[in-house]
Amino acid sequence: MPIAVEFSQISKRFSNVLANDAVSFAITSGTIHGIVGENGAGKSTLMSILYGYYGADSGEIFINGKPETIPNSHDAIALGIGMVHQHFMLIDNMTVLDNIMLGMEGGFRLQPRRTKIAAELKQLSADYQLDIKLDARIDTLSVGEQQRVEILKQLYRNANILILDEPTAVLTPQETEALFAILRLFKQQGKTVILISHKLGEILAITDTVTVMRAGAVVATVKTADTNKEDLAFKMVGRTVVTELPRQALNLGAKILEVKELCLNSDQGVALLDKINLSVHAGEIVAIAGVSGNGQSELLEILSGMRTLNPDDTSGTVNLVDYDYPCTKNDATLPAKLRKLGLSHVPEDRLRNGIVKDFPLWENVLLGQLNSGIFLDKKRSIAATEALIQQFEVRPANVHIRISQLSGGNQQKIVLAREIAAKPKLLLVGQPTRGVDIGTIQRIHTELLALRDAGVAILLVSAELEEIRALADRILVMSGGRITGEVAIADYDMTRIGLLMGGTHEH
């Protein structure tokens, strides 16, 4: 088979960080090629070079056997290269059609152009079984549907080489299967797929070949049929990765959190939360399972004090460590009060709510910790950050670089380290391992189980059923803003949980 993409001695440095170190490997046309590695291994940087976001410091890229210079994404698109990013590049308040047309309007007479593009998109959507409504607004679509919009956009741009960066990070198992069906159809039609993923089971299920990267360099390129999860994990991190972590017996303590009859309506009167009742005790992990967008985010926002409350839209009460606060009035000081009571929060969206991208690491560690005092002990803060970096194996280990220069997984480790360092009584955790590698997952799970065994109450929201099974003592399932059922971990049943996630109520 001919070679679609070949990297030859590609190197890229950001300041003192060597992101890609003489990377060389080839990707065969008409195949699905996986790229795996720890966060910070250089995978996304390499794909950004291929897509024209970055320029390589040295080395060459060959597309279909020809050396090519790719100074920007427009040149990449002209070469038939498309990229679906982990964080979608869509405008929420515009329709699917308008999002795809952006930058391709073709003149002042929009309506004839819209009609022509709409017809072509309908045909592409049918050919690739994407099932997309072109007149739907982006903010009304599920995450899986938004991803299919991104894929349709690349197809319209005649992409023959499709890059997907962590495409299943926010998908349900059903949406993942639908995506894989689309990718197999791509392959059947001779297109080439480059898949970056931290989910090794999915890599083994869908790819033909896998390249493993570590510390910016290629460790190995192997046929998928000739490897397994343990072998790939060892190549990724350079050590044996334990997937089944030891757990101490459940030792319930006092009730730390209790939520009673919590209701929340949208501005349009739609019920986002409908009579939520739950409790969490010291020394247990209560996990909330469900498809994203079913009220989990709003629940965490209210419990952490992040959401502005309005008595016309909310009702119910929350009790944290014997402190009652009604959900019917807004209190700008509530987040600070809750932190003093022992609440820590790892938000679902670390980029929007967990970090300040332009701050260095040590300043990000200070966020939420400055409750009193006028003077800042910079030297002490830097020393504390250095200790956390070492404990959580953050890379690169430089307290002074902007946190935006870290990979997503290393950003997540900084947020988790900061919240654990506050020594919480209750830890709210939203999607703790979204988009992170297997080594980082082990580190995060280890820390969460250690907190649980030390008597911390943990409320976990995760879209990963494997993660919930590995961590939870009790599972609450949410659908349509309601808790549709509760499952003890001893009674774990994926079929039952799947039905509850789909809206089937146990009662």
Give the pLDDT confidence score for residue 373 in this predicted structure.
Answer: 52
**DSSP element (H, E) containing 409:** helix 408-421
Give the pLDDT confidence score for residue 321 in this predicted structure.
Answer: 87
Q: Looking up tokens 């040590």, which residue turns up?
A: 362
φ and ψ at 410, to 5 degrees?
-75, -30
Residue 244 half-sphere exposure toward CB, CA atoms < 13 A: 0
Do 3-237 and 244-342+424-507 share a fold?
yes
Of 427, 228, 464, the residue nearest 338 (C-alpha): 427
- 151, two tokens: 């894929």
CB contact at 8 A, 346 and 415: yes
Give the pLDDT confidence score for residue 506 in this predicted structure.
Answer: 66
Give the pLDDT confidence score for residue 172 in this predicted structure.
Answer: 66
Report the alpha-carbon distance of residue 457 to residue 399 in Å, rounded: 30
Cis peptide before 396 (omega within 30 of 0): yes
- 253, two tokens: 């303590």
**Residue 208: is it exposed, middle or buried by C-beta count within 10 angstroms (0-12/13-18/19+)?**
middle
Encode the chain (507 residues) as per-residue pLDDT tens digits: 799 999 999 999 988 889 999 999 999 999 999 999 987 789 989 999 999 999 999 999 999 999 999 999 999 999 999 998 877 788 888 999 999 888 776 666 777 888 888 999 999 888 888 888 899 998 888 777 888 898 888 888 888 999 998 888 767 677 788 889 989 999 999 999 999 988 888 999 999 999 999 989 999 999 999 999 989 989 998 888 776 788 899 999 999 999 999 999 988 788 999 999 999 999 999 999 987 778 999 999 999 998 888 888 899 999 998 888 777 777 888 888 899 999 999 998 888 889 999 999 999 999 877 654 556 788 989 999 999 999 888 888 999 999 998 877 889 999 999 999 999 999 999 989 876 777 788 889 999 999 999 999 999 999 888 899 999 999 999 998 999 999 999 999 888 888 888 787 766
Of 126, 502, 117, the residue nearest 289 (C-alpha): 502
| Domain-wise residue ranges, the chain | 3-237, 244-342+424-507, 352-423
Report the alpha-carbon distance of residue 361 to residue 355 in Å, rounded: 9
Q: Which CATH class is domain 3-237?
A: alpha beta
CATH number attached to the domain at 244-342+424-507: 3.40.50.300
Of 51, 56, 6, the residue nearest 28 (C-alpha): 6
CB contact at 8 A, 134 and 150: no
Q: Looking up tokens 């002074």, which residue turns up?
A: 400
